[in-house]
Amino acid sequence: MEYSTLNFNPDQIKTPCFVVDESLLEKNLDTLASVKEHTGCKILLALKCFSMFRVFPLIRQYLDGVCASSPHEARLGREAFQKEVHTFAAAYSESDILDLCATTDHLVFNSFGQLERFKPLVKKKAEELGRKIELGIRINPEHSEGAVPIYDPCAPGSRLGVKYDNFINALNFGANDKNLLSRNLPNREDKRQNPLDDIAGLHWHNLCEQDADCLERTVKAVESRFGQFIPKMQYINFGGGHHITRPGYNIKLLEKIINDFQQRWAVQVYLEPGEAVALNAGFFVATVLDIINDSSAVSRGSISLKNLDDSNKLDDSNKFDKVDNINRVNMDIAIMDGCVPAHTPDVIEMPYRPNIINSEKPNDILEEHERLSKDIEFKERKYIYRVGGLSCLAGDVAGEYAFEEPLKIGDKLVFTDMAIYSMVKTNTFNGVQLPSIALVKKDDGKVEVVKKFGYSDFKNRLS
């Protein structure tokens, strides 16, 4: 196959392997740096999405720090990124707090209960360590923009963030109490300290791979519910899910939202994207190990679009019914040395169909054939395969793909946009080999194998 769009030769990659292109990563970082320059906001790398610390020296030239979701991520951020570390988790244990006091700079709580419980411990431990730790609280804007409930922190019943009513109750005030933000609390009978006295920032997160118009609506929802609290804050964290480096993203609107917000409220704005940092900068390379020929497949491993007989022609009422049957039943299968549930689990969890370079969607091809067949003889012959992994899971399938030429044993399959989430979610299901990690150097284009895994990595995770 030809790979003219890549800065490396997949045929020289020992698979399975994740490959991150440093020049593509830097292109994303340039875009994020421009947003920072035009707004004065701070941008953090979300480690839950991308934790390849080999490239932290490059990323920290552009970004302000990291956001972590656990003591381990926070420690990695402190040791390898060496700039600001922000941490949020749905709940902390006492041992979590003790670990985080040594690594994090901003500790964000998911409830006022946990804040009140651990505040004295944080203060005591920070003093012992000679560190300054600022506290924050995560709010729930109760404004959904996400289309998939599992990825929507504002979905009904969400456990993430303090909703407005609970926020008010925690402060022990009525919604219209004029003394809500009073530092001295002159009208409170018990004279307890206002919980907001110890809060430096508010944090929310409700987006997932979305554009700036979604943020614009979210900001309005936050201001309508929590606007009375914002003047007491030093910073506001807009969370992640901003697809800033995606082609077509409305960067100008994002910059306007940030600038207007900071001017209106006199606070520092943070963003904490994960995907935007490494979007389209990484690949997963696998090798075809076997081709299973389905004896009932059309043209043994292919669908010849120009030779579809009358029984396979589709009328307008069920255009894709029989196509789906061809795609899902009568099709040759390519088995690769990758494993979807172990190497790219988001394909199943999301779910989604990842792109393979030099392939097309079968339905797109058949739809184009239908469009052209009335006037032009459609001469293309496409070879369509279901691509799956080597595990025992029946659903270990990446998707269905059409190729110009038939696949052969030994061919390389290059999945795109695999730096984000896939690398941090790998596991050893079935004891399959963990993918190596490689870096395409931006200066000379050489491929550096950063990490290899073996039997000990599998064994040491077990008892």
> Of 278, 293, 313, at which residue does a domain stop?
278
Provide the pLDDT for residue 4: 75
Query: Which residue range(s) make up the domain with 115?
Result: 23-278
Both 377 and 441 in a single domain?
yes
State what percent of residues in the chain have pLDDT above 70: 84
* 8 found inside a domain: no
Both 228 and 98 in a single domain?
yes
Indicate if the pLDDT at residue 332 is higher than 90: yes
Both 261 and 287 in a single domain?
no
For residue range 81-124, list pLDDT tens digits in order: 999 999 999 999 999 999 999 999 999 999 999 999 999 999 99
* 155 found inside a domain: yes
Runs of H (alpha helix) within 172-328: 212-226, 251-265, 275-278, 321-328
For residue range 217-264, list pLDDT tens digits in order: 999 999 999 999 999 999 999 999 999 999 999 999 999 999 999 999
Of the two residues 29 and 294, the one the predictor is more confident about is 29
* 221 found inside a domain: yes
Most confident of 179-188, 266-275, 295-304: 266-275
* 4 found inside a domain: no
216 CB neighbour count, 10 Å cutoff: 15
Both 39 and 95 in a single domain?
yes
Q: Read off the pLDDT band of 362 (50, 70, 90).
A: confident
Both 34 and 154 in a single domain?
yes
The CATH number of the domain holding residue 189 is 3.20.20.10
Average pLDDT, the chain: 88
Both 239 and 119 in a single domain?
yes
Indicate if the pLDDT at residue 382 is higher than 90: no
Both 170 and 312 in a single domain?
no
When mean pLDDT is compared across 3-17, 32-46, 175-189, 430-444, the lowest value belongs to 175-189
pTM of the shown model = 0.87
Q: Residue 359: which of 414, 304, 306 has the closest Cα?
A: 414
Both 288 and 235 in a single domain?
no
* 75 found inside a domain: yes
Q: Read off the pLDDT band of 305 (50, 70, 90).
A: very low
Both 272 and 289 in a single domain?
no
Q: Residue 7: which of 371, 315, 440 has the closest Cα?
A: 440
CA distances (Å), origin 312, targets 237, 320, 360, 379, 390? 55, 11, 20, 17, 32
CA distances (Å), origin 58, targets 55, 61, 246, 306? 5, 6, 20, 51
Tokens of 137: 């609280």
Q: Residue 393: which of 347, 325, 455 has the closest Cα?
A: 347
> Of 230, 262, 278, at which residue does a domain stop?
278
Indicate if the pLDDT at residue 322 is higher than 60: no
Provide the pLDDT for residue 185: 42
* 294 found inside a domain: yes
For residue range 168-213, list pLDDT tens digits in order: 999 875 444 444 444 444 444 445 578 888 999 999 999 999 999 9
> For 152-168, what is the mean pLDDT?
95
Both 95 and 149 in a single domain?
yes
Provide the pLDDT for residue 294: 72
> Of 222, 248, 278, at which residue does a domain stop?
278
Q: Rounded to the nearest 10 degrees, what angle do helices 164-171 and 112-129 cross at?
A: 60
Both 29 and 99 in a single domain?
yes
Q: Read off the pLDDT band of 296 (50, 70, 90).
A: low
Mark residue 185 as left, alpha or beta (left: phi above 0; alpha: psi -120 to 50; beta: remaining).
left
The CATH number of the domain holding residue 349 is 2.40.37.10
* 58 found inside a domain: yes
Provide the pLDDT for residue 377: 43
HSE-CB for 151 with a 13 A CA cutoff: 14
Q: Which residue has the tokens 């919604």?
A: 175
State what percent of residues in the chain have pLDDT above 90: 78
Tokens of 458: 């599998």
Residues in the chain: 463
Indicate if the pLDDT at residue 54 is higher than 80: yes
Q: How far apart are CA 144 and CA 181, in angstroms?
A: 27
Both 238 and 289 in a single domain?
no
Alpha carbon 165 to chain centroid, angstroms: 30
* 43 found inside a domain: yes
For residue range 252-265, list pLDDT tens digits in order: 999 999 999 999 99
CA distances (Å), origin 196, targets 39, 111, 116, 459? 27, 12, 11, 47
Q: How many domains does the chain have?
A: 2
DSSP string, 75-125: HHIIIII-SEEEEE-S---HHHHHHHTTT-SEEEES-HHHHHHHHHHHHHH
Q: Read off the pLDDT band of 150 (50, 70, 90).
A: confident
